[in-house]
């Protein structure tokens, strides 16, 4: 079986990228990262990729006059790699319809909230301000509407009275590094399949997100 082809888009530290690299190297994921692309110069995630001999590219959005112009160039950069999946891993850039049309049903994102709650930024702060009992993360199909695509899987945890924004961020990161590789494994093995906005899991339509706490330990990275 040939390896599953990934292109990863980042903007910063790249900790989720590192989690994916680690799971490829230990054999959990039968995948190959064809390229890591950052919209920010000097993003540390690029260095992470280079340490593992993964090709990288910087495509700074400031150099383009419009989102459309940027996405046109980004599409040109990605297409030769013919990715099975484009992984948004802390890519802090809103993409246009033309990008999603070019890679329909192939783009996934990870978001630090239990979607549909708290789309956009400041998710940890908003959870604390609203005195939520729980918080967590979501892996979803990326669509033109920000953080609104169908959710594949989520992981949650209780918010404790002493928790700060930094505490929630740390707890989310720990779960992200488990859930993102797990969802990728499901995609690679075709346990999860995506078409026309419909997600199936083991060939049954997914009516609600899969929850990490309900998954057998044997399946986890």
- CA 133/CA 110 separation, integer angstroms: 21
Please check whether residue 156 is in contact with residue 171, taking contact to mean a CB–CB distance below 8 angstroms. Answer: no
Residue 76's CB: how many other CB atoms inside 10 A? 11
3-state secondary structure of 135: strand
| CA 80 to chain CA centroid, nearest Å | 21
Residue 58's CB: how many other CB atoms inside 10 A? 13
Return contacts of 198-203, CB within 8 angstroms, 24+ apart.
198/150, 199/141, 199/150, 199/152
Catalytic residues: 111
Q: What are phi and psi of 15, to 5 degrees?
A: -70, -35
Token pair listed for 70: 């940027």
């Amino acid at each position: 079986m040939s390896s599953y082809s990934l292109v990863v888009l980042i903007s910063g530290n790249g900790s989720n990228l590192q989690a994916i690299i680690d799971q490829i190297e230990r054999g959990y994921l039968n995948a190959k990262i064809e390229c890591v692309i950052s919209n920010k110069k000097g993003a540390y995630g690029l260095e992470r990729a280079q340490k593992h001999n993964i090709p990288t590219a910087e495509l700074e959005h400031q150099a383009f006059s419009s989102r459309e112009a940027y996405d046109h160039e980004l599409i040109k950069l990605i297409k030769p790699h013919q990715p099975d999946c484009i992984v948004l891993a802390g890519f802090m850039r809103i993409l246009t319809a033309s990008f999603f049309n070019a890679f329909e049903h192939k783009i996934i994102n990870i978001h630090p909230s239990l979607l549909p709650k708290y789309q956009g930024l400041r998710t940890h702060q908003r959870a604390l301000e609203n005195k939520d009992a729980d918080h967590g993360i979501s892996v979803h199909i990326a669509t033109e509407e920000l953080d609104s695509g169908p959710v594949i899987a989520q992981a949650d945890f209780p918010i404790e009275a002493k928790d700060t924004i930094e505490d929630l961020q740390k707890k989310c990161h720990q779960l992200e590094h488990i859930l993102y590789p797990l969802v990728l494994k499901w995609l690679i093995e075709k346990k999860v399949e995506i078409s026309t906005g419909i997600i199936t899991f083991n060939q049954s339509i997914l009516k609600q997100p899969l929850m990490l706490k309900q998954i057998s330990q044997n399946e986890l990275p």
